Amino acid sequence: MQMVAVYSIKGGVGKTASAVNLAARASLAGHRVLLWDLDPQAATTFYLRNKPRVRGGGVEKLVKGKAALNKAVRDTPLDNLDLLPASFESRELDQLLEGRKSSRLRKVLKPLFEDYDLVILDCPPSISTLSGQVFSSVDVLLVPVVPTTLSLRTLEQLQNHLDREDIATPVWPFFTLVDKRRKMHMQTIEDFRQQWPAQLSSIIPNASVVERMGVEQAPLSSFAPRSAAAHAYRELWEEIERRL
């Protein structure tokens, strides 16, 4: 089983939309996928038509390894895609993980290793105890980046933090919310390729159909499979799949 995290220090970069759409694409490709919503806002949980509640003992028992995972993991409307929901209680994760071994999140999921090919973590935007656990538990960090100065700055902050903490987890950035009509966006993307050779080449457009995910409570592949954004996420997943 492989674990990846969709993570960014900065909010508003399309992180949750990317996590849901990539999980959907992976499941359509025949992989058994678990999507773990770690954000107390529970947007991923909402998108996949589940209630923001961690069954089987709640977040505290989940972290302690005492939760009934068969009850905590929920079905979704998509074949091959299951969800470990978030709840408002998830805001306590930092406190609950304090002082635990750095790969605790991976150990929590150990009983499920034979059940899934891929686990995707949707992470809140912060540098915290939780994010440190994420960095040490996953095989790769998928980092959505908007082609703006502030978004690129947070990517540099992330890499500097990983270097200072001697964390070797690979960082694969990719561009989201891109407007190809804007010269600055396209020039930023072109310059970025030279600085970050690990960059994923697929570009996610800034499209209103992505905003409709909240109305439809579904990934793009379910309600707008022919849209440019759905096509971009399909290409992005295929690129990630090849690298993994």
Domain ranges of the chain: 2-243
pLDDT at 223: 98
211 vs 4: CA distance, rounded Å: 24
Q: What is the DSSP string of 73-130?
A: SEE-SSTTEEEE---GGGGGHHHHHTTS-TTHHHHHTGGGTTT-SEEEEE--SS-SHH
Across 107-127, average pLDDT: 95
Contacts of 211 (CB under 8 A, 6+ apart): none
Distance CA 100, CA 234 (A): 37
Higher pLDDT, 49 or 94: 49
Q: Which CATH number fits domain 2-243: 3.90.15.10, 3.40.50.300, 1.20.120.1200, 1.10.10.10?
A: 3.40.50.300
Tell me: the pLDDT tens digits for 118-127? 999 999 998 9
User: Taking 90 as the threshold, does the pLDDT of residue 226 lie above it?
Assistant: yes
Q: Mean pLDDT across the stretch 168-175?
A: 96
Percent of the chain with pLDDT over 70: 100
Q: What percent of the chain has pLDDT over 90?
A: 82
pTM score of the predicted model: 0.96
142: β partners? 6, 172
Q: Of 143-157, 160-174, 183-197, which range is least confident?
A: 183-197
CB distance 168 to 138 below 8 Å: no
Number of H-type helices and E-type strands within the chain:
13, 8
Q: How high is the pLDDT of residue 66?
A: 84
pLDDT of 100 over the 90 cut:
no
Which letter does DSSP use for residue 178 in this model?
E
Q: How sure is the predictor about 155, in pLDDT bands with cuts at 50, 70 and 90?
A: very high
Report d(CA 7, CA 14) in Å as an integer: 10
